[in-house]
Copies of this chain bind each other. A is one copy, B any other.
């Protein structure tokens, strides 16, 4: 049972309530976000005591959700969550937004040039990694804060919101100053303190499924963020690991209708990482739109062959432009829109 407390609740009141929960033979699990405090009442017979809580003044809402994830579930919230990034970009509504840009931010010039190109093609959010998670410690690991300045500057110039990845709590805080959306990458899908930090700040979060994360675990990881008070979470499918070796990963589009049923959160799809082969990204992107994506994230680089990271899966700007037109047709066919 999940008990959501009213705003402005005092520490002392929570302590009293916790004691009461223990007295009922249950275990209180207090999650304090900046604005919202939730108490999970954990225990085999928790449900029996529902009415005890219903009559309490400090209680805002009680949820008896059966699923292990609560706030992420359709039972908790029936309508699709629409996340307002800025006045032009709302993710989760009728329009499918395309996030595009280079894998890594390499220079200010490259960032701005790429941003212009993808904007021209119809992208509404720019991406670029300043902190790069790389399997090898000897590989290029990103420009760091300098990169964030470049992407911020690019966003400003082109009036586009920005997204970049955080791998540490410190980076979450840094990114919340520089970017409009904070990405938590596949490798950190169960880095719980990072998820909590993302839940404690106010910027929307793009949460990527890990290579061996089940749909249920993905929702539980989202729950870590939601339960800290940040309700602006987008889920992102970007390929899972299977036996097949003719593609970099196996993009799991099956997860999309399943997730659409289980959760109200917007779903972003990443065909660039998902299939990982430039010439096949277009076909997968089309499938993503058809299957029900609320957004796409696509790697574009002016000169993919010179990219410091993920070159083989970055589109040429000219390819991207044509693809956007094609995607728009499919979006219309499924009663969505992609280009303004």
CB-CB under 8 A from A284, the residues of chain B are 253-254, 257, 291
CB-CB under 8 A from A290, the residues of chain B are 283, 286-287, 289-291, 330
Scan A33-55; emit 1 where CB is below 8 A from any B CB, else 0.
00000001010000000000000
Do B287 and A253 touch across chains, with their CB atoms under 8 A apart? Answer: yes
CB-CB under 8 A from A187, the residues of chain B are 189-192
Q: Pick the interface stretch among A174-182, A243-251, A297-305.
A: A243-251
Do B193 and A167 touch across chains, with their CB atoms under 8 A apart? Answer: yes
How large, as a class, is the contact surface on chain A?
35 or more
Q: Which residue of B lies closest to A217 (CB)?
A: B135
B133, B254, B289: the one within 8 Å of A190 (CB)? B133
> In this assembly, does A20 line the interface, its C-beta being within 8 Å of a C-beta of chain B?
no
Interface residues, chain A, CB within 8 Å of chain B?
2, 27, 29, 31, 40, 42, 68-70, 133-140, 167-169, 187-194, 210-212, 214-217, 220-221, 223-224, 227, 240-247, 250-258, 260-261, 274-275, 277, 279-280, 282-284, 286-292, 326, 329-330, 332-334
Q: Could you pull out 22 A-B pairs where Cβ atoms are within 8 angstroms?
A: A29-B138, A40-B137, A42-B138, A135-B217, A137-B192, A138-B227, A187-B192, A212-B212, A212-B243, A244-B252, A244-B254, A250-B254, A251-B253, A257-B279, A257-B283, A257-B284, A261-B279, A283-B290, A286-B291, A286-B334, A290-B290, A326-B334
